[in-house]
Chains A and B, each alone.
Chain A
Amino acid sequence: EAGVAQSPRYKIIEKRQSVAFWCNPISGHATLYWYQQILGQGPKLLIQFQNNGVVDDSQLPKDRFSAERLKGVDSTLKIQPAKLEDSAVYLCASRRTGIFSPLHFGNGTRLTVT
């Protein structure tokens, strides 16, 4: 099966600019996640979708981050305006329904904010 697709792979922007990331999950996976991984840390959950509804966005900095999953498939994550501390790898993951099903991650987008 095809894996989780993310684009772009790399992005460099200046602080206060905006940026958007795109994710296409594995076909049939109802649950989609966005994680932020800062260098030297483990991935940290930003938002979780079940189909096109938000399940958990408690750790999403809503003053600058937004995410949507229209039609319950693809998802976009946006940052506006970006800060230096947003420099990180943004990982998208998806999961099929079922107890103990693991998350499948894409290769991520590495964001550098200068």
Chain B
Amino acid sequence: DQQVKQNSPSLSVQEGRISILNCDYTNSMFDYFLWYKKYPAEGPTFLISISSIKDKNEDGRFTVFLNKSAKHLSLHIVPSQPGDSAVYFCAAPPNQAGTALIFGKGTTLSVSS
């Protein structure tokens, strides 16, 4: 049972345009969400997070939007750069008492110059 779903395995965008990566979840008890970025042969690195009490969090070129009624969040990258090409994972802690994360399957973003 996938509690965090990333239904798009891949996304291709031109440099300078917006990249939108999507994530759906099934557990309404999730209280915060994180996005991780992973380059080949490296571990995932933390990118940005959002608490369930907010609907938007921005950090430079990266913005995460949360729609709790739709159980949906998205990561916007504006403008996209070739160095953003990586696998992006959406994640959430499975319960309020725990700190481990459940990850989606990831979306591979390719930004062409």
Contacts and interface: CB of A to CB of B under 8 A. Distances in A.
Contact of A42 (B43, B46, B99, B105): B105
Nearest to B32: A100
B49 A100 contact: yes
A42 B100 contact: no
Contacts of A100: 32, 49, 51
Nearest to A95: B99
B70 interface: no
Interface residues of B, number: 24
A40 B101 contact: no
B14 interface: no
Interface in A28-71: 31, 33, 40-45, 48, 55-56
Contacts of B34: 102
Nearest to A106: B43
A103 B101 contact: yes
A4 interface: yes
A104 B45 CA distance: 7
Contacts of A48: 98-100
Given A105-B44, A105-B45, A107-B42, A44 B103 contact: yes
With a 10 A CB-CB cut-off, give which of A40, A42, A100 has the most chain B CB atoms.
Answer: A42
Interface in B11-67: 32, 34, 36, 41-46, 49, 51
A71 to B, nearest CB: 21
With a 10 A CB-CB cut-off, give which of A45, A93, A102 has the most chain B CB atoms.
Answer: A102
B104 A42 contact: yes
A91 interface: yes
A63 B104 CA distance: 27
Interface string B91-108: 100000011111111100
Interface of B: 4, 6, 32, 34, 36, 41-46, 49, 51, 89, 91, 98-106
Interface of A: 4, 31, 33, 40-45, 48, 55-56, 91, 93, 95, 100-108
6 contacts: A42-B6, A43-B103, A55-B98, A102-B34, A103-B101, A107-B42
